[in-house]
Structure 1
């Protein structure tokens, strides 16, 4: 009964509620210094979408913008997982206090509950930007319906920008997640009983993000092939929200009998997660698709080289010079994720696990391969962030208003 109610709500939201939201006629100020921005998202949530909102607010404030934060857990009856304190903003030099631009770090399915509860009147008073992350080469009809009422869309990668741009003439721009290095817990190897001299590979994912997309089974297969008889090589899979799901059991079955492969399904602090990444020799993701690849970016900033599928959002910053790229072939998307089921006849990447196994073995035998990537991965990641900032996207929107085509 509960599943039926969810299905009915999704249909109403996608086909009715999305169409009821009007587009704002409010312009973006021609003087970018007059922008007063409200960032809306899950600021109190331990999730990728929550982190994206926090990073956005922090970068905009660091670049001198007046920023207000509104967290939306209450609109979805979600608990607040972490504290988030944001200073109240003072009036700018002209004395203005009114918000004139909003950036919604919410994908389309989350927008109607927030917009209606915050008030349509408020929505119509500001220039509204959706910050959307998506992992496939086509978007669901609900996303197409939501494009209509956004003044502009920003995405974290050229991959996602190119996909959404096919559906609209509205501005669609790229602003790389402004990932930060962050404070990492020291001594994580000791806490996990992994020897300091052992070869450690780590990977982080959420079962809630669709295990078939994150594809840890391919990484497990590659690791087992490379290190079936290598006791000093370890793979740590850090996950959450697995519960007693069949996906989790499938993964447990795959690693059974391999004491050097560990699955940890629990919430950790950000510092502990970063500590695991920093203590690893290599961070790995054989994903089938990524809208960005947040943990890959975090690893690179921590000077931990990455092994990753050579496809989708992460290729903005993962190159043959700074990463180990795994070749892939397109396969049909097969997923039970509700949003993915709304898109037909599309493909995503199937990483070559044998090629990944070969790379893992090569790295284990010749650690200079790691040193070469380690010498440049952090700086090149930072260059990507600095070249694609929110302020650059906002300036492009202002320039387009000043000099329309």
Structure 2
């Protein structure tokens, strides 16, 4: 292919940096209208052409022909990846036929033509470099001479290349180095792409060093140069400012020029610099800076949605120069959980390859835990289960070790086995809030349906706590009895209520009963005060892995993963007008109970994200938010004030009434997507219902809903863990929950709205997975298998699935 122009100017960034890159690309195009302008996208393209609109062409990093691209992207974090792509983009442009190519960092603005650069290239320069410093910088503030020596002599925020054999040779050498060694490890003498270029003046006879003061002005050399404002422009040492490098600037806070230095802070910013910073910040903010979240970066997570920590990337690049396991984003997470060949087994399991890597990199762990002994392995496993999340950043990398370490034999003692039921006698009784409008009530109804689907002669024993609504679901009435329970009982009751329920039903519970309980709890640590309740049962059936891991390590009895049936037959459709939902709008849906702790359900975060995602002129006409509430008339004062605010919120349709199960599903089904920005969930029934109805789901990437929502099945929202405030939830002491990233939540909602085909694809995948893993057949098979193993007295470990 022949280039349209002999000149190309380009930058490299991920999607979150595009608002800054636009300033660079627009300014470069204005100063050099003769050049072709390119954005090399170190990310994946979104299905929103308007996002990339502009007078520039987009080329993705994946399109550059980088060998073993998935391994290359997996090897590096976002900053390393963006810099590692650089020589490959130069090679790509040379292959397109360009004779003169200029790279500029996305946080640069071009203020005047780059005449000196193109003059050098026209004169035969193979490469043009700008040094960080053109005179010694012996000062207290970073960077001084030594700091520059660590970072590299030349600032690679700028590089110009002239097409010639020498440049081709240097780019091939540089690309070979950056394929595996583009790392931020100054202690090893490497700082991403920069330090390698210190060698180039010795390698390339035609390389040129540009020392003109108006080029690459930034915090590292500004103290040595005189920046002045002249009319509408700026000069440096009396010559035109060609381009300023705003490295480390925060456009929303201009008290500091750069986060990388203490220089040029409050009181040390000249009027000329302040004006330049204001001008740049206005442009960047107008382009939407801060509205594209860093969490949108495509190569930040495994295919499962688990965050890839730096220790894993380093483990991969140092241990697997050639990886034969396929796409590492899909396969390396499982590899991390394989046993390390270097340590013995112990009664708690084994040290995984990830655990061994973390241990090898931390001297204090080596001093504390001797992995050559079973005792040291057991102690290290205990430490890893309790503390490794703070090192790794994602509990999903720790969870398999926690569950393996906590497993106990699941066979019941012979004296606790229930006698077989007589012919025609009820075999199993489900005890729960079977006619109550609540998540726990629906879980009980699904358990009863599962038992019947599994072929057991089953009955329900309905209980009615005074604090919850009256009967709302009559579908299971024929299978509900107030008579004597069977000898096998499944209590779909939370642990705090279990002792009271068993005491109240004492006359209906036969002696020598075998009992399982299915408890829910939303925070990571189960309350100590409730633990004695489990003495009243023989087994605990954890509805989610999230609940299983919090109980398995604390109970000396089986804690099995027995997820509830989450599939159901959708009710017939109902018209939107029945609830006042706009007919033509794209509708997001959320529901919560005002008698619950509203802080956990977090509707305020949803409102903020909705406002951020959709401006007032769109909200209510093209897009709206339906919020279904329950028990508004019985809510506390602060919840009632929230309810009143929702009634007057633009673009929000409030439905505050008691609906039957079928009506609630009909209301949800007439919407287009479901959003849950919860702080924590023990199950996430709303999310599961949305998936079964075929609706795309946006949900906080934390707690039990991570078992349902991944980048393949929905739109996870990044979050950080924060302490649970006093009064926000029971037993809050020492607990954490999620604070969802509001910018990312708004972004994900926009993606669902804009990318209907992708949203439908993920929703279809979610429904198929829900049916396969949590459908009637799958849950019935688990129940049959568990009770068969129980009655046979067999012994299996850890999981009924």
What's the TM-score once normalised by structure 2's chain length? 0.44
Question: What is the aligned partner in structure 1 of residue 794 from structure 2?
Answer: 402
How much has 1:313 moved relative to structure 2? Answer: 1.0
Q: 1:35 and 1:398, CA in 2 relative to 1: closer, same or farther beyond 3 A?
A: farther
Closer, same or farther: CA 39–228 of 1 in aligned 2, 3 Å = same
The 5 Å alignment of 1:198-277 reads 198-229=585-616, 230=618, 231-243=621-633, 245-252=636-643, 255=646, 258-277=649-668
8 Å Cα contact 1:24-1:127 kept in structure 2:
no
- Preserved CA contact (<8 Å) 2:628 2:655: yes
Aligned to 1:341, the other structure's residue is in SS state coil
Q: Report deviation, 1:255.
A: 4.2
Match of 1:141 in 2: 528
Which deviates the most, 263-272 or 386-395?
Answer: 386-395
Stretch moving more, 43-52 or 76-85: 76-85
Instruction: Give the equivalent residue in structure 2 for 1:310.
Output: 701
Residue from 477, 480, 485 that aligns with 1:85 = 477
Instruction: Give the 3 Å change call, closer, same or farther, for CA 295–404 of structure 1 in structure 2.
Output: closer
CA drift of 1:399 comes to 3.4
- Superposed, 1:240-389 pairs within 5 Å as 240-243=630-633, 245-252=636-643, 255=646, 258-334=649-725, 336=727, 340-386=729-775, 389=779
Instruction: Tell me: CA distance 1:303–1:88, structure 2 relative to 1, closer, same or farther (3 Å).
Output: closer
Instruction: Provide the secondary structure at the position in 1 that maps to 2:478.
Output: coil
How many angstroms apart in 2 are the aligned matches of 1:367 and 1:121? 53
Assess if the C-alpha contact under 8 Å between 1:36 and 1:98 holds in 2.
no
Asked if structure 2 preserves the Cα contact closer than 8 Å seen for 1:175 and 1:388, the reply is no
TM-score (norm 1): 0.83
Q: CA deviation at 1:370?
A: 1.6
CA distance in 2, matches of 1:297, 1:27: 34
Distance (Å, rounded) in 2 between the aligned partners of 1:285 and 1:155:
22
Kindly state the Cα deviation for residue 144 of structure 1 after the two structures are TM-superposed: 0.8
CA contact (8 A) 2:462 2:480 kept: no
3-state SS, counterpart of residue 509 of structure 2: helix
Of 204-213 and 241-250, the range deviating more from structure 2: 241-250
Match of 1:20 in 2: none
SS at match of 1:73: coil
What residue in structure 2 maps to residue 131 of structure 1?
518
Contact 1:185/1:274 (CA < 8 Å) preserved in 2? no
Q: Distance in 2 between matches of 1:78 and 1:193?
A: 25
What's the CA shift for 1:322?
1.2
Shift in CA distance, 88/336, structure 1 to aligned 2, threshold 3 Å? closer
Distance 2:580 2:473 in 1: 28
Choose 251-260 or 319-328, whichever is displaced more. 251-260
Quote the Cα distance in structure 1 between the aligned partners of 2:645 and 2:418: 53
CA distance in 2, matches of 1:167, 1:24: 23
Note the C-alpha offset of 1:121.
Answer: 8.6
Report the Cα offset of residue 150 of structure 1. 1.3
8 A Cα contact 2:460 2:479, kept in partner: no
Q: For the residues of structure 2 that align with 1:119 and 1:75, how far apart are their CA atoms?
A: 19
Residue 462 of structure 2, aligned match among 58, 68, 71: 71
Structure with larger RCO (C-alpha < 8 A, sep 6+): 1
Unaligned runs of 5+ in 1: 1-22, 90-96
SS at match of 2:502: helix
Aligned residues: 373
Tell me if structure 2 keeps the 8 A contact 1:29–1:35. Answer: no
1:346: how far off? 1.1
Instruction: Verify: 1:152 aligned to 2:544, yes or no.
Output: no
1:270 CA displacement: 1.7
Q: 1:300 to 1:74 in 2, by over 3 A?
A: closer
d(CA) in 2 for partners of 1:82 and 1:122? 24
1:308-337, Cα deviation, whole Å (9 max, x unpaired)? 111111122212111011011101112636
Deviation at 1:166, TM superposition (A): 2.1
Q: Is the CA contact 1:212–1:335 (under 8 Å) kept in the aligned structure 2?
A: no
**Counterpart contact for 2:494–2:518, Cα < 8 Å:** yes
How far the C-alpha of 1:290 sits from its partner, in A, is 0.8
Give the SS at the match of 1:376. Answer: helix
Which region of structure 1 is more displaced relative to structure 2, 265-274 or 117-126? 117-126
Contact 1:129 1:150 in 2 (8 A): yes
Contact residue 75 and residue 114 of structure 1 kept, 8 A: no
Q: What is the Cα deviation at residue 86 of structure 1?
A: 2.4
Deviations 1:217-239 (A, max 9, x none): 11111001111231311001101
CA contact (8 A) 1:225 1:357 kept: yes
Unmatched tracts of structure 2, length 5 or more: 1-412
Paired residues of 1:29 and 1:398 also in contact (CA < 8 A): no
